[in-house]
Amino acid sequence: MRRGFLLNRSLSADNKSQRAPKPKSGDEAHGLVDKSRPPAGAAPIPIPTLRTQSISHHEPQLSALTLGTQVTLYVVHLPPPPSGLGSAEHTTTCVLLSGQTPHILAIPGFPCAPAQPAIPRLYDLRPVPSALSASSPGSPVVELGLFAPAVLEPGDLVLSERPLLLTLRALPAGDAPGMRADDLLERVAASMPAREQRAFLGLRNYRARDTRYSRARGIVDTNALGVGALPGYPGDCAVVCELTCRANHSCSPNAVARWDLPSFSIELRARRRILAGEEITISYLPELTLPRATRITLLRESYAFTCACPACSLTGDAHARSDARRAALARHRSLVYDDAQFAEWLAEPGEEGAHKVVAACEAVMAMIDEEGCIEDVVWPVCLHWLCKANSVLGREEEARARARRAAGLARAFTGEDGGWVKVADDPRMTEWWCCRTKQ
């Protein structure tokens, strides 16, 4: 990992000795007096810092990881089925290690109610037009996709749902009959409640014609979303959902799925504005910044389809520019936000440094937008710095606009605005507001 996000040499190399303190008391730190600062005694609003959070993405091939044959797995239904009738929330059939269930039940408030969309149904499930379809040849299942019935804004919750199935990604490695992961998953599917079982068996299986894999195994490998570790065991888990797993892939996805442990549910949220009638897409890739050839190869190998998304359909110079932009964004992913460097910039005379930082961050955000490559690492840094730099320059509307965008993206990736709404409401109340001497 390298440090030095966005700062080019002209901004940082010659100013090591001029590092400025953070402007907690800006007047004394910078010898300035600015009448537009927050009133004395008012608590400043912090500009939210980088909040990376691994997002859910498809992680196929359970066979890549195996447990020893001596472990004991249990099939349990979580949350525990309600004692009364009439609950609309179904439970999830889970494959867990012995002793893991009490750790999950001990989560404070478990299970919280899943978040509810502002409007009851913000998706339509319908066949995908052939021009958009990326299905494998001869797939016996009609390709369905999720479509937006109305305009969705960044951060809007499209749907939340308890998974049909949750399983450890590492399953027993034995080849003996009954010990194979395929057999285990068949038994798990057979133990599902009738409605959930129908929904599970109705999902796409790109391995339907490959007799080496059981039906349940093929469905899991085709649809699984990685959710990381659960309490009680550090190994990764994966879920299969009735609706979210209907979202098709795009290398410029307009939505993102995230796992919410307290409610034991998957949330699907818009990561950019989605127009009415537009297909809602997510990414099946570990990284969106990969070049097209690598993306296509990975998707072919993992899911047996050839991506025909807009980014993968570019030709000639447009294709080369797209790969170049994604390569640049990949470089930015490896950089680490460092507040000390912002202070270095702050110590420079005049406002030239501020404008350079703004220009650099805006250029990166433009690449993100051109590629539709809104992932969870680069935008938090860019928008943090843009909001901070514009606040330092006293540009209220610019700071507010970046804070609003960050609030929507924070909701998309974490479920919460992360404090960005407060900043958007009143950028003048941040500790960075006009803290730089205007010369």
Structure tokens at 94: 């889970």
Shortest approach of Zn ion to residue 133 CB, angstroms? Answer: 13
For position 134 contacting Zn ion by CB under 5 A, the verdict is no
If the CB atoms of residues 159 and 312 are measured against Zn ion, the closer one turns out to be 312
Q: Reduced to 3 states, what is the DSSP secondary structure of residue 312?
A: helix
- The CA-atom distances, in angstroms, between 282 and each of 57, 192, 286, 414 are 8, 27, 11, 16
If the CB atoms of residues 205 and 250 are measured against Zn ion, the closer one turns out to be 250
Q: Binding residue for Zn ion (CB under 5 A) from 251, 274, 387, 406?
A: 251
Counting Cβ atoms within 10 Å, is residue 63 exposed (0-12), middle (13-18) or buried (19+)? middle
Q: Which stretch binds Zn ion (CB under 5 A): 172-180, 309-317, 397-405, 410-418?
A: 309-317
Q: Which stretch binds Zn ion (CB under 5 A): 97-105, 127-135, 250-258, 361-369?
A: 250-258
- The CA-atom distances, in angstroms, between 229 and each of 67, 219, 267 are 15, 21, 17
Shortest approach of Zn ion to residue 299 CB, angstroms? Answer: 7
Nearest to 402 by CA among 47, 17, 33, 86: 47
Q: Which residues contact 391 (CB under 8 A, 6 or more apart)?
A: 47, 399, 427, 430, 432, 433, 434, 435
Contact mark string toward Zn ion, 269..308, x via CB under 5 A: --------------------------------------x-
Q: Which amino acid is at 265?
A: S
Shortest approach of Zn ion to residue 365 CB, angstroms? Answer: 21
Q: Computed over its alpha carbons, how large is the radius of gyration of the chain? A: 24
Shortest approach of Zn ion to residue 200 CB, angstroms? Answer: 27
If the CB atoms of residues 3 and 300 are measured against Zn ion, the closer one turns out to be 300
CB 367 within 8 A of CB 373: yes
Shortest approach of Zn ion to residue 228 CB, angstroms? Answer: 25
# residues contacting Zn ion (CB under 5 A):
4
Q: Binding residue for Zn ion (CB under 5 A) from 181, 309, 399, 409?
A: 309
Shortest approach of Zn ion to residue 306 CB, angstroms? Answer: 9
The residues binding Zn ion (CB under 5 A) are 251, 307, 309, 312
